């Protein structure tokens, strides 16, 4: 017998349907009738017949025709919403879909799997898991370690040994011994009481990353979770059943308790969950719609699910991967600006950087040489000012290897710490099966990823700071020898005047965000947790700074391409012309003023999807192959030739593609 889950005024109702020939209108009326039945005042209605309503799917918010047959319009267990005419949406109502729902209209369940063992997850893997590219399964060795760890917990319970978090309370209540018959209740109470976060929920991608990372840590076999429970958690991940996890509430020690508790709350069938099939709904209904049962927590398992640094680390992983992508594309954007401003390539000479051999600096200088005027890629623009009387360029052009270089090295340093943290056991107490005992420690403290992500924000911000100054040079006619604000008929048209202001605003905002959160600490839990990392905020603001960098560089990319228009018919180098062509495929030149925000967003999307890198990197790698051993990928953020080939990138044989 088909059954539908219907949302009416903030409540979810299960409505069975004995006859598929009934209509959508019947389903709406029946849901309203059940809603009224549960209200002392009938919900303010005299009768069902007077209620006027619309019915729409939760997934995609598509309106349904009340006369359509249910068997035609809906699938079994589908989620729908009854919108009563005249109702005003409560500001506290969780919408049927999160922000970015359009991305999920094309969601397809992945067919490929990633094997998790707790030891070998990479930042790239976790981002791909967040995007829904893979399902998860455990390696046989991981399953064995999880079972051995659980046997230690079972022995503790059987022998009635007093162990923190298993047979005692938590934090200040660590000395309170809990009787065996209440150990399961202890774990459920822990998850419920600690689910006290606030703010917007994590996006599906970020919640998926958080859940995947917690599974990876549990797979190490030091948490004491049962294999049965862990497999239930994996089934929820593979079905993309994602809990409502508010982004605020963690102080980063003892781990990310609040967000991980919200993550666990949905898994036990309480609170809210989201899936591509259901949208937001009560967790028990979302799980049931996917044929899953809520997790029944055994002793220690609530603590195993919520004690760790996975919120900090998963968000930090996204920040690192986006930082890598924008840092290497920043070199390409800056090279294009240098061409437009008629700069010199002399500052990128190999010998200059060989005597100050920082890895990132050497790599950035190499990229500039591979993109700018040379025997490989002659530039008509460069030839036009070859005999000018300028001796050297401004720092924002000349010092790109030194400034961009240290950003690359910073990212590499942070990535190393985050990668270690991805594969670290961060519980308390730790369960050591080889010793048959548990040991209390402090691996839950988030200071490592917190400090690293504060450093990442400071480092990556410099790309926006120097980019904004280059935008100023492009827009300022006394510095660029181009029309003011890169537009014809200045005065009638304002061109890039306010786009530059936007870049300046983003840079200024990021300066405040770069203040380290990890220098702060507030004592919590009645002074038992008397030093904390504040790593959750470090991760969230690092992501915001990375986004600002992307947006500022998107503006510079547009400005540089607009500058090219005023230098025509001269052409730049082949790789930079390819970048120009890419931008012009989504944004047309400015002939006169127009609505600019969509163009900035389009350029931002090119950078997010790494398309600027994709069109330029084959030329960089071809140049590299022809200059070995002069240069090799010295920075961990550089693509190798092998990785390019694995990704089916085409390395051109000549400038003509």
Q: What is the pLDDT of residues 551-564, one digit of tens each?
A: 999 999 999 999 99
16 strand-pairing partners? 3
Under DSSP, the state recorded for 69 is B
Q: What is the pLDDT of residues 473-524, one digit of tens each?
A: 999 999 999 999 999 999 999 999 999 999 999 999 999 999 999 999 998 8
Confidence category of residue 278, pLDDT binned at 50, 70, 90: confident
Share of the chain above pLDDT 90, in %: 72
Cα 190 to Cα 166, 193, 269, 285, 310, distances in angstroms = 11, 5, 15, 23, 18
Mean pLDDT of all residues in 365-390: 92
CA 42 → CA 24, 72, 87, distances in Å? 22, 31, 15
Low-confidence winner among 248-262, 277-291, 577-591 (lowest mean pLDDT): 277-291
How large a percentage of the chain has pLDDT more than 70?
Answer: 92
Helix axes 204-218, 257-267, angle to 10 degrees: 90
Q: What is the pTM of this model?
A: 0.86
Residue 95 has pLDDT above 70, yes or no: no
Least confident of 371-385, 456-470, 501-515: 371-385
- Provide the pLDDT for residue 629: 65
pLDDT at 634: 47
Residue ranges of alpha helices (H) inside 74-182 are: 123-130, 140-159
The predicted model gives 407-434 an average pLDDT of 97
At residue 478, what are phi and psi to the nearest 5 degrees? -75, -15
Residue 638 has pLDDT above 50, yes or no: no
pLDDT at res. 565: 97
Is 164 annotated in the active site?
Answer: yes
3-state secondary structure of 82: strand
For residues 69-104, one letter each, b for 16 or more C-beta atoms within 10 angstroms of the residue's C-beta and e for the rest, the string is: ebeebbeebbbbbbbbeeeeeeeeebebbbeebeeb
Q: What angle do CA 173, 177, 181 make, to 5 degrees?
A: 125
* Digit-coded pLDDT (tens) for 234-261: 999 999 999 999 999 999 988 899 999 9
Q: Is the predicted pLDDT of residue 435 greater than 70, yes or no?
A: yes
pLDDT at 576: 98
Predicted confidence at residue 631, as pLDDT, reads 53
> How crowded is residue 633: how many other Cβ atoms within 10 Å of its Cβ?
18
Mean pLDDT of 74-90: 78
* Confidence label for 652 from pLDDT (cuts 50, 70 and 90): low
What is the predicted pLDDT for the residue at 279? 79
Using pLDDT thresholds of 50, 70 and 90, give the confidence band for residue 49. confident
Q: Is the pLDDT of residue 108 over 70?
A: yes
SS3 of 385-438: CCCCCCCCCCHHHHCHHHHHHHHHHHHHHHHHHHHHHHCCCCCCCEEECCCCEE
Q: How confident is the model at residue 42 (pLDDT cuts 50, 70, 90)?
A: confident
Mean pLDDT calculated for residue range 436-453: 95
| Averaged pLDDT for residues 92-108 | 50
How confident is the prediction for the chain on average, in pLDDT? Answer: 90
Q: Is 192:265 a contact under the CB 8 Å cutoff?
A: yes
Among 27-36, 56-65, 109-118, 645-654, which is the least confidently predicted range?
645-654
Identify which has the larger pLDDT, 84 or 333: 333
Check 35, 164, 244, 285 and give the catalytic one. 164
pLDDT at 529: 84
pLDDT reported for residue 468: 98
> pLDDT of 602-633, one tens digit each?
999 999 999 999 999 999 999 999 887 655 55
How far apart are alpha carbons 633 and 641 in whole angstroms? Answer: 9
| pLDDT number for residue 102 | 43
Quote the pLDDT of residue 47.
85
88 confidence band (pLDDT: 50, 70, 90): low
């Amino acid at each position: 017998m088909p059954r539908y889950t219907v949302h009416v005024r903030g409540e979810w109702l299960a409505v069975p349907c004995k006859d598929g020939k009934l209509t959508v209108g019947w389903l709406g009326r029946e849901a309203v009738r059940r809603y009224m039945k549960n209200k002392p005042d009938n919900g303010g209605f005299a009768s069902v017949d007077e209620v006027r309503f619309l019915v729409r799917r939760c997934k995609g918010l598509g309106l349904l025709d009340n006369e359509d047959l249910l068997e035609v319009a809906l699938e079994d267990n589908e989620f729908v919403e009854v919108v009563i005419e005249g109702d005003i949406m409560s500001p506290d109502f969780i919408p049927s879909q999160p922000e970015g729902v359009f991305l999920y209209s094309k969601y397809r369940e992945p067919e490929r799997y990633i094997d998790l063992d707790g030891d070998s997850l990479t930042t790239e893997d976790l981002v791909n898991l967040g995007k829904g590219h893979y399902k998860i399964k455990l390696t046989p060795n991981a399953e064995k370690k999880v079972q051995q760890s659980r046997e230690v917990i079972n022995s503790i319970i059987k022998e009635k040994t007093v162990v923190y978090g298993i047979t005692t309370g938590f934090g200040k209540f660590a000395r309170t011994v809990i009787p065996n018959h209440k150990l399961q209740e202890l774990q459920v109470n822990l998850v419920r009481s600690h689910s006290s976060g606030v703010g917007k929920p994590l996006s599906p991608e970020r919640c998926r990353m958080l859940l995947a990372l917690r599974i990876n840590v549990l797979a190490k076999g030091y948490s004491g979770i049962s294999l049965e429970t862990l497999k239930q958690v994996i089934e929820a991940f593979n079905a993309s059943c994602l809990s409502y996890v508010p982004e605020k509430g963690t102080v980063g020690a003892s781990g990310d308790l609040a967000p991980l508790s919200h993550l666990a709350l949905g898994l036990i069938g309480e609170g809210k969950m989201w899936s591509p099939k259901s949208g937001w709904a009560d967790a028990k209904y979302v799980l049931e719609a996917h044929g899953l049962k809520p997790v029944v927590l055994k002793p220690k398992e609530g603590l195993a699910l919520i004690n760790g640094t996975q919120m900090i680390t998963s968000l930090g992983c996204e920040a690192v991967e986006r930082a890598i992508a924008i840092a290497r594309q920043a070199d390409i954007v800056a090279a294009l600006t240098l061409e437009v401003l008629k700069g010199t390539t002399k500052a990128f000479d190999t010998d200059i950087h060989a005597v100050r051999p920082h890895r990132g600096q050497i790599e950035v200088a190499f990229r500039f040489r591979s993109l700018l005027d040379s025997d490989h890629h002659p530039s008509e623009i460069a030839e036009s000012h070859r005999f000018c009387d300028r001796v050297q360029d401004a720092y924002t052009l000349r010092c790109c290897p030194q400034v961009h270089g240290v950003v690359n090295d910073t990212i590499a340093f942070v990535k190393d710490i985050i990668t270690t943290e991805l594969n670290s056991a961060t519980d308390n107490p730790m369960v050591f099966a080889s010793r048959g005992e548990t040991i209390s420690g402090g691996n839950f403290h988030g200071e490592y990823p917190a400090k690293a992500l504060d450093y990442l924000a400071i480092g990556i911000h410099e790309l926006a700071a120097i980019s904004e100054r280059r935008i100023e040079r492009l827009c300022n006619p006394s510095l660029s020898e181009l029309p003011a604000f890169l537009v014809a008929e200045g005065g009638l048209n304002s061109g890039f005047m306010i786009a530059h202001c936007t870049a300046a605003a983003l840079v200024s905002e990021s300066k405040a965000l770069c203040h380290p959160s990890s220098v702060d600490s507030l004592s919590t839990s009645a002074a038992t947790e008397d030093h904390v990392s504040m790593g959750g905020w470090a991760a969230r603001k690092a992501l915001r700074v990375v986004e600002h960098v992307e947006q500022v560089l998107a503006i510079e990319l547009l400005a540089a391409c607009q500058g090219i228009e005023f230098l025509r018919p001269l052409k730049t180098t082949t790789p930079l012309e390819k970048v120009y062509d890419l931008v012009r495929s989504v944004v047309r030149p400015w002939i006169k003023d127009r609505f600019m925000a969509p163009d900035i967003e389009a350029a931002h999307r090119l950078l997010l999807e790494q398309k600027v890198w994709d069109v330029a990197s084959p030329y960089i790698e071809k140049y590299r192959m022809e200059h070995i051993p002069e240069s090799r990928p010295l920075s961990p953020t550089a693509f190798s030739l092998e990785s390019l080939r694995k990704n089916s990138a085409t390395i051109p044989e000549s400038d003509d593609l």
